[in-house]
Structure 1
Amino acid sequence: MSLNFAVLGAGAGGQTMAGVLSSQGYSVKLYDIDQSKIQKLNALGKIVVTGKIECEGTPALMTTDLRAAMQDVDVVMVTTTTDAHRTLADQCAPYLHDGQIFMLNPGHVGGALEVAHVIRDIHQCKADVIIAEAGDLMYACRMPEVGTVFQSGLKNHVEVATLPASDVTRLLEILKPIFANLSPAKNILETGFEGGGAMLHPIPSLMNVNRTDSGEPYDYYMSGITPSVAKLVSACDAERLAVCRALGLEVPSLVKSLQKIYSLEQEDLYDLLQHNKAYVGLKSPSSLNHRFFIEDTLCGIVPLASIGQMMGVETPIMDACINIASVVCGRDFRAEGRTAERLGLAGKTLEEIYEMIS
Structure 2
Amino acid sequence: MTEPGHLRVGIAGTGAIALASAAWLRQAGHGVMLWSPGGQGAEALRTQPLEAVGVQPCRVAVEVADTAAQLCGASDVLLIALPVNGHRRVMDALLPFLRDGQTVIVSSMASLSSLYLHEGARRAGKRVTVASFGTTVLTARRESATQVRVMTRRQAVGVSTLPSTEIESAIALCTVLFGGGFFAQENTLASALANVNPQSHGPLAVFNWTRIEHAENWPQYHCMTPGVSRAIEALDLERRAVAQAFGIALGPIEAHFARSFGTASARLEDIAAELHAKRGGPPGPVRTDTRYVSEDMPYGLAFVEALGRIAGVPTPATRTIVDAASLVNGIDYRQQNDLLAPLGLADETVAGLLARL
Deviation at 1:194, TM superposition (A): 2.4
Which structure is higher in helix share? 2
Is 1:96 equivalent to 2:95 in the alignment? no
d(CA) in 2 for partners of 1:320, 1:149: 35
d(CA) in 2 for partners of 1:52, 1:193: 28
Describe how 1:100-115 pairs up with structure 2 within 5 A: 100-115=102-117
TM-score, length basis structure 2: 0.87
d(CA) in 2 for partners of 1:23, 1:258: 27
The answer to whether the Cα contact below 8 Å between 1:9 and 1:78 also exists between their aligned partners in 2 is yes
The SS at the match of 1:293 is helix
- Relative distance call for 1:348 and 1:139 in structure 2 (3 A) is same
The aligned residue for residue 139 of structure 1 is: 138
The aligned residue for residue 10 of structure 1 is: 14
One-letter amino acid of the counterpart of residue 128, structure 2:
V
The aligned residue for residue 309 of structure 1 is: 309
Deviation at 1:23, TM superposition (A): 4.2
Q: Bigger CA drift: 200-209 or 15-24?
A: 15-24
d(CA) in 1 for partners of 2:246, 2:12: 31
d(CA) in 2 for partners of 1:270, 1:158: 23
d(CA) in 2 for partners of 1:176, 1:239: 32
The aligned residue for residue 175 of structure 2 is: 176
One-letter amino acid of the counterpart of residue 355, structure 1:
A
The SS at the match of 1:353 is helix
The aligned residue for residue 72 of structure 2 is: 70
One-letter amino acid of the counterpart of residue 63, structure 2:
A
One-letter amino acid of the counterpart of residue 168, structure 2:
T
Report the RMSD for the aligned CA atoms in angstroms: 2.6
The answer to whether the Cα contact below 8 Å between 1:111 and 1:133 also exists between their aligned partners in 2 is no
Deviation at 1:344, TM superposition (A): 4.5
The answer to whether the Cα contact below 8 Å between 1:302 and 1:338 also exists between their aligned partners in 2 is no
d(CA) in 2 for partners of 1:25, 1:263: 32
d(CA) in 2 for partners of 1:128, 1:98: 5
d(CA) in 1 for partners of 2:266, 2:303: 29
Unaligned runs of 5+ in 1: none
Deviation at 1:175, TM superposition (A): 4.4
Q: Bigger CA drift: 181-190 or 3-12?
A: 181-190
Q: Bigger CA drift: 255-264 or 236-245?
A: 255-264
One-letter amino acid of the counterpart of residue 34, structure 2:
L
d(CA) in 1 for partners of 2:235, 2:85: 21
One-letter amino acid of the counterpart of residue 326, structure 1:
S
d(CA) in 2 for partners of 1:29, 1:303: 32
The answer to whether the Cα contact below 8 Å between 2:134 and 2:158 also exists between their aligned partners in 1 is yes
- Relative distance call for 1:236 and 1:147 in structure 2 (3 A) is same
The aligned residue for residue 116 of structure 1 is: 118
Unaligned runs of 5+ in 2: none
d(CA) in 1 for partners of 2:160, 2:319: 29
- Relative distance call for 1:327 and 1:4 in structure 2 (3 A) is same
One-letter amino acid of the counterpart of residue 298, structure 1:
P
Aligned length: 350
The answer to whether the Cα contact below 8 Å between 1:114 and 1:338 also exists between their aligned partners in 2 is no
Percent identical:
22
Deviation at 1:291, TM superposition (A): 1.0
Describe how 1:280-295 pairs up with structure 2 within 5 A: 280-295=280-295
